[in-house]
Each structure stands twice: as C-alpha cells, then as structure tokens.
Amino acid sequence: MSAEPAPLGRRERSKQRIKDRIYTSALSLFAEQGYDRTTIDQIAERADVARGTFFNYFQRKEDLVTAWAEARRRRLEECMEESMLARDDGVTVHLERCMLALAEFNETERDITAAMLQAWVKAGRPLLEEPYAGHVFATVVEAGRRRGEIAVDIDPLRVGNILRDSYLGLLYRWSQSPEPRVPLHIELREVLRIVLTGILSYARPTAYVPEPGGEVRA
C-alpha cells in the first residue's frame, strides 16, 4: 500500500489558497461575462492579487481551461472508483452513476459550464486532450465484459469513446440552449440506454415496407 502524501506546510497551503482564489475568481467572471470578454487584469482584481501574481500560478488565461478540465476529470474518476467498490452492481448501474455524476457537475454549474465549454472547444482541446471520459467508460465496460455482461467481441474503448462523444455533443447543445426542454441527466440516461440496447426493433423486423416511389409506410 502506498504511503499517504505528507501534509502541506504553511507556505504551500498559502500558495494553494491563492491559486484556488484566482481559479474561482476566474470561473465566476467567465460565468458572468464570458471567457473572451474576461481579462487577466479583471481576474487579478477579483482575486485581490497583483497581475504578476496571476502569472506565478497560470502562464496564460488558457491554462484556466486546462485546470477546469482536469478538475472535471478527477471528479469523474473519483465517482467511477467509488461506484466500482460496489462489486455486485452491474455495468448498467455503474455507467448510470457516471452519467448522473456528469449531469450533476454541469447542472449545478450551468453558467460556468457554458462559458468554459465554449473556451475548451475554441482552444481545440477535444482534439488535443486525452479522451479521459472515454477511458473511464471503457474501464466500466471492460469490467462488465469480464463478468459476462458484455459480449466478448465488443471493444470496451470503442464503446467508451462512443459514450464520451455522445456526452460531449449533448452537453454542448444543452449548455447553449436558453431553456433546455429536458434535464441533462434524463438525456444522458437515454443516450446510455440507446448505446446499451441499440435502436433496432427485432420484435417487428418487417414493420416498415417501402411504398412505390421510395416512400416508407408503417
């Protein structure tokens, strides 16, 4: 068993408090007026630090986007690890917990999510960063495959990336909608159901037949 990290000293705790204050001040400003319209000077003023102090902790404003994404990654991994402790639960339950956690992150911080997600996409992070959510989902799917819940010929990482891509697309549309028609957690659960069960109806394989001219009728 690995040893626990040594507690931070007074100086380190002070530096961490300053960094946290800069970070939370930046997020509040991003939520209020948008990422692009927020300047480093405004962040420093809100955090009650000198402009130079900002650069002691973040080399550029874009680093706050990285910090935000990293915080999300840690929260999702912690949720997955906690869920996997309940070994008797099936893969569907574990994936539902992950989706519920993602929904909670975003629904409780809707304004911040909308601002940071735009900045994250504009910076090209979906293409540049490691698809951590896909790996989290894949870990759950792989555990289900070992238990016989998932077909042996299914690639867990492919499923994980499908869920990740579906989540990000849905999150972007949800965050940009003034008044979402459906709560995010319900939409994510429906996406999960579709991925796990598919969309084909095997009960009525000939329910739809083509009409002359290419039209389709029930």
Note the pLDDT tens digit of each residue in 154-183.
Answer: 999 999 999 999 999 999 999 888 877 788
What average pLDDT is seen over the chain? 86
Q: Which residue has the higher pLDDT, 112 or 84?
A: 112
- The closest of 95, 96, 103, 110 to 141, measured between CA atoms, is 95
- The tokens for 47 are 């955090």
For 61-197, CATH gives: 1.10.357.10
Contact 35, 96 (CB under 8 A): no
Question: pTM of the full predicted structure?
Answer: 0.77
Give the confidence band of 1 by pLDDT, cuts at 50, 70, 90: very low
Domain boundaries, the chain: 9-60, 61-197
- The tokens for 174 are 């949800």
- The residue to which tokens 């999960």 are assigned: 192
Q: What is the pLDDT of residue 83?
A: 81
H or E segment and range at residue 203: none
CATH architecture of 9-60: Orthogonal Bundle (1.10)
Give the confidence band of 202 by pLDDT, cuts at 50, 70, 90: low
Q: What is the pLDDT of residue 96?
A: 92
